Structure 1
């Protein structure tokens, strides 16, 4: 099933590349009527939908050198942007390459509207949204097999893209199928307006999504998980806490989703993780049929180097020597040599220093080997240049920890919350905690121990009030070895200059 979805993505020939600096200059993904498309290919609609799913992990339709947007095919994929902006800007992991703009992320310094990595994610968001709008505008006027389910899935994908816009840039334009094709620049939409729109979309479609779906596609639990993520961050996004609503949504995922924790933690991040009982919504990768420098290849290869490591041990033929964890991550496990927590063993230490005295030195800090291109549960395969490990965008352990955090914040269901946390810890062979240990400070640290390098950390630190200022500092925060305060406006990224120039209705975020 995994490869069938990928083949549909790559095999569809009725799609065009486009640049999307201006969200209104979107070349339509569908140039023919739906009837004409179906006459040519009965699977055309499903192929287009698969193409939209793939837009979150792949750079373009024709392999790793192709790009849906006018930005660099290797650097700009959506998932790569999530890792860059969510993990490198936080406490746990740093990049050493010194690329133009990447140093500014990894040291949280000198952010401005010209940084290409901000532009990459913004452009990917505004590639996916108009393409969803285009398909919806066609489907609303045509008959197609499983039309209502397809519409719900496309609306979910659009909501997911908007979620990342809300979280990272805080505002933009509200482009829908209703104004698709408009020649006039759309007005700026505030963070609260975008939040309200995404909430209403998810509330409406979650019941029309199927209870189960093909691997890698949205079902009810996937929709509820995104709704829970929106609600758990509502106080940041709108100023009004919605932790009770988040608890309700995440309870539905846990109770009705049918997912269970995998027996092995590392199996969730291995090349055969498409068999995992824990992954709720993956971004699919395959070393042969979905080659990309922006899916988990970026993580697995980026965290490896033949300088200190045997690449074949991690299923690789190529290591890029870029990403290492800092003590902001592995320091949370205590003594790495004596702890029983299996998650603490997923760092490569030989030849590397505990202290990251120089974030540009490969041997300073420990490369995380959490993600790997080897199989955990099935027969071994030969090392490959690209990764076959799917990225678990949503998984059950995250749902358990979200439930526990909301329970602590609302003083509800604390016994059940403790049970969920201890299931996560027991799976990792970490000591269970007592009820008195279940605090917000503990929850923030446990989320790092369990979820770092999965695209959550910056958002978590902001929600817990630990990202900006000096209440919490980490290695190289603010460009200083031992960390220093960073300004409050860094809670949002600057709107890219090209976007501002393309639509004069957009205004720069305060502080930039």
Structure 2
């Protein structure tokens, strides 16, 4: 159950402690036996706490943080949205914060930007926590469900490393084997980290449970991360791996038992824990897992009292921060006449179509894709924090990935199946089906924007398609110019944070910074 997973996530927290954000040597304060004596369900609680590290700032509420970074700004999911969506074409933030401004305009990036540090620190907080649990469970005996806890911890460690691979391109490879080393570890290249994550996922994929509870990793969640890794392998390692991606997409699509939700909006509403489509969510709850960094950041950030009634979206606060650009809603044509249900998920009243000033709230359309009401529009009352889970992986994404693999020539793909999967995504939202002649890579990139924007994939998609840097694709405020301008190829990676370089002299800055 959703709330049980949240509640148990706060148990046994004294198992972990880090002396600073980048410390890769957590200290064990209690033995596992002592923890289990106090709480027989402690292993489940500790593992749940690892899951929670991707959405919450810490165990003690929204103003407390596991690490020394700002509790409101630094949670993992907030970092994913900042770095994956605001740096790309579909969404922009208007607050003008130093650091966030540079993200939303893809300009003037440097190693002192606090938002790069936040994501790096969060990843290297989660990884040692997983290592510490693994170091105990690998040698423990007669611990209930210990094997499954090991597989889940290894998956979560791999997920954290995936973002290091994707966003920074390199880092430090620390596992339970070198947990207690006191000297700085060597730099690990992008390919070395890729190989480690690949080997971990390949080993646990056939072993992890097929049917873990909602919010926990299972065989299909692991398969989805493998597919994501392989989809981007050419960017990460220089070698295309679309056929390997297809192998694990087939597992998800054909064996997972997932089905597209009849109502697109259910995937982003307060009752999305009932969606048949969500493969892996990051759980939120308005009472038990309050955070300024989970979907609260998305829901409240897209709402403003100047032009909107907050209670219609189940929220008591509107932060007047995020708006979509015409690069997103322009893909639907005329929003007023479009039959595509996704085209209706922009707030147009009182807002301008063109984002002439990215700092002006009324320039651009806020996205109302995420909301804190149920999918039928009902609400138990407006709340400060969102109770809507974040769908990190869902079936529509897998469908579109399959079609991309087919167009990239992956062995074993079926173009008829690819077309059917894309049209299933479109017709679910009442959009017109396409024909085989329409099915091109450019079309898939646009359809991924229509379907998946604001879900933490867009920057990675644009890089994979060769559209992020350079001038082949310009979007509003790219390079800090209203109509967009070319940006350097070094922006395909973020700079390694200065704090990480200072903490480990073996790390070298990425080129161009």
CA distance in 1, matches of 2:235, 2:6: 36
Whether contact under 8 Å (1:166, 1:237) holds in the other structure is yes
Contact 2:277 2:396 survives alignment (8 Å): yes
1:23: how far off?
Answer: 3.5
Structure 1 residues 160 and 81: alpha-carbon distance in aligned structure 2, compared to 1, 3 A threshold: same
Q: Which residue of 1 aligns with 2:216?
A: 217
Q: For residue 426 of structure 1, what is the aligned residue in structure 2? A: 427
Cα shift readout 1:459-479 (whole Å, capped 9, x = no counterpart): 000000000000000000000
Cα drift, residue 413 of structure 1: 1.0
- Secondary structure of 2:110's match? coil
Aligned mates of 2:32, 2:213 — CA distance in 1: 23
Q: TM-score, normalised by structure 1?
A: 0.98
| CA-CA distance at 1:148 after TM superposition | 1.1
Partner residue, 2:2:
2
SS, match of residue 110 in structure 1: coil
Name the residue aligned to 1:166.
165
- The equivalent residue for 2:79 is 81
Instruction: Say if 1:16 and 1:149 are closer, same or farther in 2 by CA, change over 3 A.
Output: closer
Query: In the alignment, is the contact (CA less than 8 A) between 1:259 and 1:396 conserved in 2?
Result: yes
**Superposition TM-score, scaled by structure 2 size:** 0.98
| Offset of residue 20 of structure 1 | 4.3
SS at match of 2:9: helix
> Does the Cα contact within 8 Å between 2:314 and 2:372 map onto a contact in 1?
yes
Which residue of 1 is the match for residue 283 of structure 2? 284
Q: Which residue of 1 aligns with 2:477?
A: 476
Q: Distance in 2 between matches of 1:406 and 1:107?
A: 31
Question: Following TM superposition, by how much is the alpha carbon of 1:31 offset from its aligned partner in structure 2, in angstroms?
Answer: 2.1
SS in 2 for 1:224: helix
Asked whether the 8 Å contact 2:26–2:132 carries over to 1, the reply is: no
Q: Deviations over 1:261-287 (max 9, x none)?
A: 000000110001011100000000000
**Residue pair 1:64, 1:293 contacting (<8 A) in 2 also:** yes
Q: CA deviation at 1:17?
A: 5.6
2:43 to 26, 42, 45: 45
Which structure 2 residues correspond to residues 294-313 of structure 1 after superposition, within 5 A? 294-313=293-312
Q: Separation in 1 of the partners of 2:229 and 2:331? A: 27
Tell me if the contact between 2:16 and 2:129 (Cα under 8 Å) persists in the aligned partners: no
Aligned pairs, how many?
510
**1:408–1:439 Cα contact (<8 Å) kept:** yes
Alpha-carbon deviations, 1:148-168, whole Å to 9, x = none? 111000000000000000000
Please point out which of 99, 102, 105 is paired with 2:103. Answer: 105
Cα distance in structure 2, aligned partners of 1:380 and 1:7: 23
Aligned pairs (5 A) from 1:220-231: 220-231=219-230
Between the aligned partners of 2:13 and 2:470, the Cα distance in structure 1 is: 50
Q: Secondary structure at the match of 2:176?
A: coil
Shift of residue 367 of structure 1?
0.2
Q: CA deviation at 1:14?
A: 2.3
Q: Is the 8 A contact 1:354 1:364 kept in 2?
A: yes
Give a deviation string over 1:160-192, Cα, whole Å, max 9, x none.
000000000000000000000210110000000
| More displaced stretch, 332-341 vs 442-451 | 332-341
Q: Which moved more, 1:3-12 or 1:154-163?
A: 3-12
2:512 is aligned to 511
- 2:345: which partner in 1? 346
Q: Is the 8 A contact 1:21 1:498 kept in 2?
A: no
Match of 2:92 among 94, 101, 107: 94
| Higher mean C-alpha deviation, range 403-412 or range 114-123 | 403-412
Asked if structure 1 preserves the Cα contact closer than 8 Å seen for 2:15 and 2:30, the reply is: no
Deviation at 1:22, TM superposition (A): 2.4
What is the rounded CA distance, in whole Å, between the counterparts of 1:11 and 1:311 in structure 2? 34
- 2:111 aligned with 1:134: no
Per-residue deviation, residues 432-481 of structure 1 (Å, max 9, x unmatched): 00001110000000000000000000000000000000000000000000
Q: Secondary structure at the match of 1:375?
A: coil
Cα distance 1:93–1:19, how it changes in 2: closer, same or farther (>3 A)? farther
Q: Say if 1:296 and 1:390, in contact at 8 Å, map to a contact too.
A: yes
Which residues of structure 2 form unaligned runs of 5+?
A: none
Alignment of 1:12-27 (within 5 A): 12-16=12-16, 18=18, 20-24=20-24, 26-27=25-26
CA distance in 2, matches of 1:16, 1:197: 24
Contact 2:310–2:318 (8 Å) recurs in 1 = yes
Task: Tell me the CA shift for residue 33 of structure 1.
Answer: 1.8
- Given that 1:20 and 1:123 are in contact with CA atoms closer than 8 Å, whether structure 2 keeps it comes out as no
SS of structure 2 residue aligned to 1:393: strand
Distance in 2 (alpha carbons) for counterparts of 1:473 and 1:261? 32
User: How far does the alpha carbon of each residue in 1:393-451 deviate from its partner, in whole angstroms, 9 at most, with x for none?
Assistant: 00000010011100111163111000000000000100000001110000000000000
Query: In structure 1, how many angstroms separate the alpha carbons of the residues matched to 2:378 and 2:333?
Result: 34
Q: Secondary structure at the match of 1:298?
A: helix
Any residues of structure 2 matched to 1:420-459 within 5 Å, and which?
420-459=421-460
Do 2:284 and 2:388's aligned partners in 1 also have CA atoms closer than 8 Å?
yes
CA RMSD of aligned residues (A): 1.1
- Is the aligned partner of 1:123 residue 2:121? yes
8 Å CA contact 2:57–2:291 kept in 1: the answer is: yes
